[in-house]
Structure 1
Amino acid sequence: MKNLFTTHPASVGETYLEHLLVAAAFGARLFIAGIACCVHAVLPWLFVTTGSRAVMRLHDSMVRSRVRNEP
């Protein structure tokens, strides 16, 4: 059962707790960006670049983390 909680985090160079915090932070940022995108759908003059900027920042953060954790 322990492997279910530790295999993937270990594969990206994180402990279970570190992975939980990173994944939760990513999820929260995606959630907020998603709300901004939904508002933008109705009011297109608001949050014009919020969704795309959030995706680019999250991608950059993930790539930097991947490079930092490579052997």
Structure 2
Amino acid sequence: MNIFTDHPHKVGESYSEHLVMAGGFGWTMFWGGLACMVHAILPFLFEKTGSDIIRKLHMRMVTKRADLIKADKDYELEWVI
């Protein structure tokens, strides 16, 4: 058992691939959240940014998970990052 590689391997990634993928999700969510906060105060700005970011992240995750499910019939879909 290795706390740094168990989860990445479960989602079909090496540690470094997971670092890039999860870090990318985190930064995208951070900037999306910031855009939503600005939109809350100034509703004429970033009208679709939050929705667009959620849609983009969902597609990236679902597409990757679908590929894992096709490759491994025993793979159980979980909502993990």
> What's the TM-score once normalised by structure 2's chain length?
0.81
Q: Which is richer in helix?
A: 1
Q: What residue number does 1:44 align with?
A: 43
CA RMSD of aligned residues (A): 1.0
Letter of the structure 2 residue corresponding to residue 8 of structure 1: H
Cα distance between partner residues in 2 of 1:69 and 1:25:
20
Residues 5-55 of structure 1: CA deviation (Å, up to 9, x unaligned): 111100000001100000001111111111100100110011011001101
Letter of the structure 2 residue corresponding to residue 17 of structure 1: S
Unaligned runs of 5+ in 2: 73-81
Cα distance between partner residues in 2 of 1:55 and 1:40:
15
Structure 1 stretches of 4+ moved >3 Å: none
Q: What residue number does 1:65 align with?
A: 64
Cα distance between partner residues in 2 of 1:67 and 1:40:
33
> What's the TM-score once normalised by structure 1's chain length?
0.92
Between the two structures, name the one with larger relative contact order (CA 8 Å, sep ≥ 6). 1
Unaligned runs of 5+ in 1: none
Residue 69 of structure 1 deviates from its aligned partner by: 2.3
Cα distance between partner residues in 2 of 1:43 and 1:63:
32
**In percent, how many aligned pairs have the same letter?**
49
